[in-house]
Amino acid sequence: MLDGIKHILRSIRVFRRSKAGNPNQAFGEALQQHIASSAELNQHSFSHQKPTYEHFVGEEDDDDYEEDFGVVDCECDDENKRKCGRKDCPRPNIATILVCVLLFLVFVLLPAVYLLHCFDLLKSHWEVNEDGNGDGPSGYSAWEYAMVDHTYGDSVIGDFASSAKGKGALKKRLREIVITERPPVLETSAPTRSPTPPPHSQCSALPEARRFDCFPGEGASKEGCEARGCCWVPTVQEVRRDYNYGSKVEVNSEGQGNKEPNNLSNSVDSHNEGGKMKNVADRKAAEGEGLPPLNVPYCYFPPGDTGHYYSWVNISSEVVPSYRDLELDPLEDERSLMETGLGSMTGFLKLHTPSPYPSDIPLLRVDVKFETKERLRVKITDASHPRYEPPYPEVPILDISRKDRNTVQPQDSLYRVEMDKSRVGFAVIRRSNNRTLFDSRSVGALVYADQFLQMSALLPSDSSMYGIGEHQAPLNLPVNWQRFVLFNHDSVPKNNTNLYGSHPFYMATEKDGSSHGVFLLNSNAMEVILQPGPAVTFRAIGGVIDLHFFLGPSPREVVAQYTDLVGRPFMPPLWGLGFHLCRFGYKTLNRTREVCESVRKAGIPLDVQWNDLDYMKQGNDFTYDPETFKGLPEFVEELHKLGMHYVPLIDAGISGGDKAGTYPPYDEGLAAGVFIKNSSGLPFVGKVWNKVSTVWPDFTNPTSVPYWSTQMERLHKQVAFDGAWIDMNEPSNFYSGTEKGCPTSGTEPGPYGRREADLEHPPYLPPVEGSLLAFKTVCMSARHFAGSHYDVHNLHGFTHAIVTSFAMTELRGRRPFVISRSTFAGHGHYAGHWSGDEASTWTDMANTVPAILNFNIFGVPLVGADICGFNGNTTVELCSRWSQLGAFYPFSRNHNTDDGIDQDPVSLGPLVVQSARKALLIRYSLLPYLYTLFWRAHAFGDTVARPLFFEFPDDPNTHGIDRQFLWGSGFMIVPVLDEGKTAVDAYIPKGIWYDFYSKEVISSSETGHMVTLPAPADTIPLLVRGGTIIPMQAPNMTTGQTRQNKIELMVAVDNDTTASGVLYWDDDDSLNTWEEGHYSFLTFTLGKGNTTPGRRPDSNAELAAKQVTGTAEGSVLSGVVTWRGVPVPVNLGAVRVMGVSGPVRGVSANGQSVPFSYDTKSKYLVVENLDLDLNTVFIIMWY
């Protein structure tokens, strides 16, 4: 404070010395100096040192100080030749003293007393906030916070704006700043309006489904609610649990809440002992206490609220000049509605009433960008100051207003946007049916404080909701007051818990199948609330509101549009689609080899052997134990000779406790400054698997790329691994912060503008597991290159995957194969995922199906779960059924923990061996089809494993199905998910469906219906959809060996005797084969008569067929290479057709009669022993 006063005094001197000149200029210079020093004033506001002369002016300013304050320097008469002292200075008389005293009383003392009285009153109402949940950050009273928060203060502009003369000029100025790329700071006086609670009759009339929570967190009461200007209407008299900190609130008949004491306000570091947190967080975690359910809020925003905290001050439209729909400035135009054409809009929202959270943003900028015909972006930011935004994923910036100016027409867009000057918010409307998809206009309230952002919106009334991960829940998300917390965390999968990844993306599908998606690009901790409106509320504790809308209109198109934004999925190598085997607890290389060989001897296909933590030396990354895993490099070479591959674990943390010079990953990381830093600028130290301590590379730091690549290269020179398994990268930590917790005592803002206490204990805490952001992870005050850990926590695993993918590409010169536990939006562009530490239970096995489907919706198609479960002990029946299901995970791996029984197929006996072998041989036979699906995901953003409603969106019965799923559009998997069952009920959508095993028709109906399918103990029911052609190969022990066999076509005839399919072929491991054209693409088509569907009639091939058969009747199956970048090295060996109406009199292939077999009962035609070149057109006919 004293240094700040010093700057103020200097500013005054500037003004005084310039009063002979231009006074306005002088005041401007003085004010500028004052503003420039405001940060320093904040820094010293709480200094209680006694002021000294040097504190005010410093030694160099003595003369100026004396001049300014009238200090008299007495001078002696040289003629008297006597030493001058204080007693020789001239002294004022008594009259002068009395006048000075009177002036002092009138102009100093009385005003000071008055001001102190005012401040005392303020302080008596604003108590010191201990935990950061009140009106100011932790450790401040709201009054002190107001005194030091000069971030947005500018009294000159505020006074000008509030004056009668200034209002008109302010309007004009606001219209001017709309068109600037970055508006200048426009500040207003701090809002003084107090919210007024509405009458009870108005509140009670609002339907419960439309009540949006006004008081999230703990401490809700009638007084506190009405102080926020909100409705207080308890719906029931019960004991409810306040979810934020786990305290109970007993609600009496008057709706008053009596809260139990809550111990969580104590700081973390004061409750640590020996690395274990002695507080509620650890107790709740140990007891397995999940989050209590939500219900109708007692305290909610009033109905018809046009803008609880903000109001519009300007909306401006910038549209394509050739067809501007409407341009409206609501400050001057009385019309209430604004519809835009294609282009963009910018609006400004001004704070008129403070929210209950500290540091409201006084002026918001709302940018609406019409990026493509199907995609819209609405971004709400601080109009005056930059805020943290996630650097990844790197989303493209598009603007139709500047693209295709002369070709895009308004009617071509799938949406329009409406903004109403009388209501805060906006609406996104589908043009085709005028359906409102997202309406935030006066829905709940827009809250935009520094550490609390909230927006609510109404959704289509008949919507089914999907996405918002990672969580354990049904595929079709319940909207009956459901909460999803997004904050990456190492936890066993369970309900109502934040898990390993964060994907703030949802898709809504209406009853008629029309779908759209919404993505909030924000990496801070958040919660997403679904309520019966249906409605959604996004509530984040930092960043910005950056919403992206995808108009579909089909579910498949929504996912394609989303991945077009965040990044298309990477193309995995073919060997990555084989079967993988792992175990935490092999403990030795000998045991690893034994299990691997036993599985192969049992005839079970196996492509990749993995090792968990136990291969490392003392748990350290980039090492292997030279004793227990002696000979590991030679073992890996043996695998390569068998056509197999090897993947080791590489954790996110680096050992920080080894002696200097003995562990290069630490020494080199320390020298490069690559590790995450604590608030003091030193490497942040925690503990994971390393013997002493752990540090974490900061993967947002560019130096992490060469550092991480170097470490991986060093290990690769010893052990030639083929892929990387990255784990514990949420990041997970055995401590909650450091061994002593997290720092909260710092009173000065850190390099990113917030104090330690604000980061560790923000004003609002989403209900994360452990009730603490740093619970079993890094402190929020830790520092990264891209920002504080508070902001980038959810990006750690994602950036880990990005850097690891790059390193693998550089090492092998081929496609990277990376599997990561922690994920974020866009993760599928770089790596795959597995669902974490599932328990060996029937419930957890069933829950993996919606988990797999969700990640395909998130654009991460390479996803699987630990077959037979990770934690606990499996059973023979469970592992048998799980092996059947796991064979159809896109990423198929058996893995379990070190304290469980062996669960590789051979160890559990003949039933599990038979189930695994049977299902995996089918998987390997379908590799051409599966590989083509991954290519479609990589090239076009399609899904691999997909829910039924993706193919049948207009059938509402499919919208909630998550116990069966599809590969692509034509292959259905119906797993047995219940103990003791040998049959399973399945929903069969409209159309013809064939049993994969018997080849017979299972269902042929114009509507969907339930069917009971037989499921013997070693068999998983599989169905093929009519109209599908699936390319296959005879299976072998590895993907490479299978790849050498001839292509076979499985054809499922539709009602109209047609079918189609495709095949993508490349060398299965090279980089950029699709992008560079090094592939071949084949289309297969079945038609009736003398016309091949999709090709010109009377082509040479068809004429040749007529000549051979002598008739135009029959079925024609053709294959055509539509792109030939590389030759297809294998020929067509067989065709098997289901649903052929007999009798079949003859079959020809390229004009030559060929032998065949036909089953009249199952109507199944088999043509084998073919050898047709797939690099040219082929024709097969039967008649």
What residues are annotated to the active site? Answer: 727, 730
- Give the Å distances, CA to CA, from 828 to 860, 1002, 1068: 4, 36, 19
Q: Cβ of 674: how many Cβ atoms within 10 Å?
A: 25
- Does residue 494 contact residue 478 with C-beta atoms inside 8 Å? no
In sign, the C-alpha dihedral spanning 417, 420, 426, 428 is negative
Kindly provide the residue ranges of all beta strands, DSSP E only, lying in 672-779, ordered along the sequence. 694-695, 724-727
Mark residue 867 as left, alpha or beta (left: phi above 0; alpha: psi -120 to 50; beta: remaining).
Answer: beta
Q: Count Cβ neighbours within 10 Å for each residue of 980-1019 and write b for 16 or more, e otherwise.
A: eeeebebbbbebbbbbbeebebbbeeeebeebebebeebb
Q: DSSP characters for 313-342?
A: EEEEEEE-GGG------TTT----EEE--S
Structure tokens at 526: 């958040």
Instruction: Give, for 23, the enclosing helix (H) or strand (E).
Output: helix 23-36
d(CA 834, CA 837): 9
Tokens 């609610």 identify what position?
A: 225
d(CA 532, CA 914): 47
- Does residue 827 contact residue 862 with C-beta atoms inside 8 Å? no
207: three-class secondary structure by DSSP: coil
- Does residue 760 contact residue 740 with C-beta atoms inside 8 Å? no
DSSP 411: G
Strand partners, 971: 967, 1024
Amino acid at the residue 382: D
- Does residue 655 contact residue 690 with C-beta atoms inside 8 Å? yes
Comparing CA positions, the residue from 343, 342, 317 lying closest to residue 329 is 317
919: three-class secondary structure by DSSP: helix
Comparing CA positions, the residue from 686, 685, 702, 697 lying closest to residue 621 is 697
Q: DSSP characters for 836-850?
A: -S-BSSHHHHHHHHH
Structure tokens at 208: 């419960």
d(CA 567, CA 396): 10
Structure tokens at 595: 């299990």
Strand partners, 548: 377, 519
Radius of gyration of the chain (CA): 35
- Does residue 440 contact residue 446 with C-beta atoms inside 8 Å? yes
Helices (DSSP H) in 813-926: which residue ranges?
Answer: 842-857, 876-886, 910-925
Q: DSSP characters for 601-662?
A: HTT----EEEE-GGGSSTT-TT---TTTTTTHHHHHHHHHHTT-EEEEEEES-EE--SPTTS
Structure tokens at 273: 């002992």
Structure tokens at 173: 């100025």
CA 700 to chain centre: 16
Comparing CA positions, the residue from 844, 191, 222, 22 lying closest to residue 495 is 844
874 contacts: CB under 8 Å, gap ≥ 6: 840, 868, 882, 896, 900, 901, 903, 908
